[in-house]
A and B are shown apart, each in its own frame.
Chain A
Amino acid sequence: MSFKRISVLAWKDIIDSIRTPRLLVIIITPLIIALCINLFFGDKLTLRIGLFSQDDTQLIKTLEQVELVEVRIYNSTETLRESVRNGEITVGVDLPANFDTLLVNNELPSVNFIVGDNSQESQVGVTLVQQVIQSLSSNPLPIVSSTIILKPDALPGISIRGDLSIDQYAIVLWLVMGIVGNGVMLVPTLIVEERERKTLDALLLSPLTYTEFAIGKAVVGVVYSIASSMLILLVQGGLSGDIFFIAVLIILGSLSLSFFGVLIGTLVENLHVLNSYGSVFVFLLTLPALIGMLGPNPFIQYLQILPTYPLVDGIVKTVSGQNQIAIPSLVLLCIHSALILGGVTLSLKRRQINK
């Protein structure tokens, strides 16, 4: 195998892809979506806080003045809890009777914070309300607070989003979209195009072997996946967590999905078929990330067989600062990559026999 020949072919495609509007669209679509969302909604993600109070309280008005906060009033603790459970609000605040009087008299009113999970978003919500109450009192510890986390088993299904806020998770979604788009659309398009235009014949009559050809195409997918991931992170202002671990996951995910793209490219006969079914593959592979956006739900467990599941799960856990529990996802991603590579090898052998 010649790395020089692989790099010659990959470089040709890296340059050629930029010249082709159709391929350029595949490469930059996730970037455009991420940029648009960031531009139009980036600073408009609101924190929804629900309040139950038996009487009027100045806390409502004060909270309403806080930017990016939406306040909803409830008429009972039960309805407040139900809304938290359904994900309609991030934090529920259950105030005692005569809250304002108790606060002014430094009588340390008991406030119950109700959250659906222990996510960063929930924690930010609780801290924000505490700070607002603090601003209403001269006492450094004005209330006695307790936080009720509705148990995960009380919530329907499991959550791949973990402790990440919606806007943080959105970055993971764009990353996965970019990697899937480049791996599963760009790579097979490059292969099928060579076959349709019969340039593949010319390439294979040169010293280039079919294995080198397949690796060269996968390299293009990996390069564009990494480049688009870097751009998305740049546009979105980066991600917290161990950057090395995230980089390893992105590279491994790019490799895995680019080889998946090679597999599709070797099996699909023409661009018409690829365009028809390619978007189905993209949708399926983006599904773990998309469904994760909805929060806890019962469908996620069925998506664990997809190679994008450990990728999403691994990045989410790493960003949440849980590198240790992200290791199984990394291992699973390695297994997925090995299986896909096995599929590619089998397909190449099949081609050799049938030619």
Chain B
Amino acid sequence: MEAVIEAYQLRKDFKNKTAVRDVSFSIFEGEIFGFLGHNGAGKTTTIRLLTGQIRPTSGKAMIAGFNSSSEQGFIKPIIGVVSEAQNLYERMTGLENLNLFANLYDIRKSRVQELLALVNLQSRARDKIENYSNGMKQRLLIARALLHEPDVIFLDEPTRGLDPTSARDIKENIKNLAASGVTVFLTTHNMEEADELCDRVAFIKEGSLIIIDTPQNLKLQYGEQSVILKLNNNESIKIPFIDPSSLQEAFSRLTKNEVQTIHSQEATLEDVFLKLAGQEVENEL
């Protein structure tokens, strides 16, 4: 499979701070790649570096083989960006917002209608943005980013501050995009969302990449392979999968009807992140 997004020792220093420290990774066609970290970890700066909005202090970023800094003309037509800030023209209507960018991209007007339908905003297209909810704005931002049918889309915290229904709609849109072959680079600090959506995830902490892998592998690698049995007498017993005698005991208690509930001890992505971030902190110390 061909790498669509590549970062080589990407670094960005600001006056008093290094936002991104020598980060390297490759993302493949049609993949949903989650870039996870706390606020201020360097997620947005990485997106700005990858999309050529800022120049790296060192290293380079490539999109579909083009250098993001020096070949912006080639990059722009193949990327779409939904930034964290809901940067829409508030005094204009949804339709006017999309038409403006359709004209800048020199795209046919029917595409605007297609996208309004895709994000389910047709009925509100002639309303001013200032009257939109956060969820509607986010959907319109996705529509704007997809106007020119990009091969790669960058989504910076797409569900932040949204109600569960709006967040679900956005996640559906992201899944559909990936299904249609679009490569998705997603930043979030919502681990549950990343687990649900991403093929692979990377953890970033204070500008440094901690690990890259599939959510499943990370959970297996860093979680405990065991269950906890809660007994009728309110006692709890931990049963590791790798210990045959424990498994026998569990079976025996189940048959004797002594077990009230069983709890899987599989780690969540958040557990893995906290574990890894903690290790990093220890190593630094």
Q: Does B89 make an interface contact (CB < 8 A)?
A: yes
Give A212's nearest chain B residue, CB to CB. B104
User: Is B91's CB under 8 angstroms from A8's CB?
Assistant: no
Residue numbers of B with Cβ under 8 A of A are 51, 53-55, 76-77, 79, 81, 83, 85, 87-92, 100-101, 103-106, 144
**In the A-B complex, the 4 residue pairs with the closest CB atoms:** A198-B87, A198-B85, A8-B103, A206-B104
- Alpha-carbon gap, A204 to B72, bound state (A): 10
User: Which residue in A16, A206, A355 is a CB contact (below 8 Å) of B105?
Assistant: A206
Chain B residues within 8 Å of A16, by CB: 89, 91-92
User: Is A202's CB under 8 angstroms from B53's CB?
Assistant: no
User: Is A205's CB under 8 angstroms from B105's CB?
Assistant: no
Question: What is the distance, in angstroms, from A289's C-beta to the closest C-beta of chain B?
Answer: 33
User: Is B87's CB under 8 angstroms from A199's CB?
Assistant: yes
Question: What is the distance, in angstroms, from B6's C-beta to the closest C-beta of chain A?
Answer: 19
Question: What is the distance, in angstroms, from B75's C-beta to the closest C-beta of chain A?
Answer: 9
Chain B residues within 8 Å of A20, by CB: 91
- 7 example contacts (A-B, Cβ-Cβ < 8 A) are as follows A5-B104, A12-B89, A19-B91, A197-B87, A199-B88, A205-B79, A355-B54
Q: Does A237 make an interface contact (CB < 8 A)?
A: no
Sample of 13 more A-B contacts, CB < 8 Å, known A197-B85, A206-B76 = A5-B103, A8-B103, A16-B91, A16-B92, A19-B91, A20-B91, A198-B85, A199-B88, A202-B101, A204-B53, A205-B76, A207-B77, A207-B105
With most chain A CB atoms within 10 A of its CB, the pick from B76, B101, B104, B105 is: B104
Q: Does A335 make an interface contact (CB < 8 A)?
A: no
Q: Does A203 make an interface contact (CB < 8 A)?
A: yes
With most chain B CB atoms within 10 A of its CB, the pick from A5, A20, A199, A202 is: A202
Q: Does A208 make an interface contact (CB < 8 A)?
A: yes
Total cross-chain contacts (CB, 8 A)? 55
Give A20's nearest chain B residue, CB to CB. B91
Chain B residues within 8 Å of A8, by CB: 100, 103-104
Residue numbers of A with Cβ under 8 A of B are 4-5, 8-9, 12, 16, 19-20, 197-199, 201-208, 355
User: Is A202's CB under 8 angstroms from B55's CB?
Assistant: no
- Alpha-carbon gap, A199 to B81, bound state (A): 12
User: Is B87's CB under 8 angstroms from A201's CB?
Assistant: yes
Majority secondary structure of chain A interface residues (helix, strand, loop or mixed): helix
User: Which residue in A5, A199, A201, A207 is a CB contact (below 8 Å) of B89?
Assistant: A199
Known: A8-B103, A202-B83, A207-B104. A355 touches B92 (CB 8 A): no
- Alpha-carbon gap, A202 to B185, bound state (A): 17
Question: What is the distance, in angstroms, from B97's C-beta to the closest C-beta of chain A?
Answer: 9
Chain A residues within 8 Å of B92, by CB: 12, 16
Question: What is the distance, in angstroms, from B77's C-beta to the closest C-beta of chain A?
Answer: 7
User: Is A203's CB under 8 angstroms from B104's CB?
Assistant: yes
Chain B residues within 8 Å of A205, by CB: 51, 53, 76, 79, 81
- Alpha-carbon gap, A355 to B92, bound state (A): 29
User: Is B53's CB under 8 angstroms from A201's CB?
Assistant: yes
User: Which residue in B53, B87, B88, B101 is a CB contact (below 8 Å) of A206?
Assistant: B101
Chain A residues within 8 Å of B79, by CB: 205
Chain A residues within 8 Å of B91, by CB: 16, 19-20
Chain A residues within 8 Å of B104, by CB: 5, 8-9, 203, 206-208
User: Is A201's CB under 8 angstroms from B83's CB?
Assistant: yes
- Alpha-carbon gap, A355 to B54, bound state (A): 5
Chain A residues within 8 Å of B81, by CB: 201-202, 205
- Alpha-carbon gap, A165 to B76, bound state (A): 57
Chain B residues within 8 Å of A355, by CB: 53-55
- Alpha-carbon gap, A204 to B87, bound state (A): 12
Chain A residues within 8 Å of B144, by CB: 202
- Alpha-carbon gap, A4 to B105, bound state (A): 10
- Alpha-carbon gap, A208 to B266, bound state (A): 49
User: Is B76's CB under 8 angstroms from A198's CB?
Assistant: no
Question: What is the distance, in angstroms, from B150's C-beta to the closest C-beta of chain A?
Answer: 10
Question: What is the distance, in angstroms, from B160's C-beta to the closest C-beta of chain A?
Answer: 15
Chain B residues within 8 Å of A5, by CB: 103-104
Question: What is the distance, in angstroms, from B133's C-beta to the closest C-beta of chain A?
Answer: 18
- Alpha-carbon gap, A215 to B53, bound state (A): 20
Question: What is the distance, in angstroms, from B137's C-beta to the closest C-beta of chain A?
Answer: 13
- Alpha-carbon gap, A4 to B91, bound state (A): 23
Question: What is the distance, in angstroms, from B184's C-beta to the closest C-beta of chain A?
Answer: 16
Chain B residues within 8 Å of A19, by CB: 91
- Alpha-carbon gap, A351 to B111, bound state (A): 34
Question: What is the distance, in angstroms, from B233's C-beta to the closest C-beta of chain A?
Answer: 60
Known: A198-B87, A199-B88. A4 touches B100 (CB 8 A): no
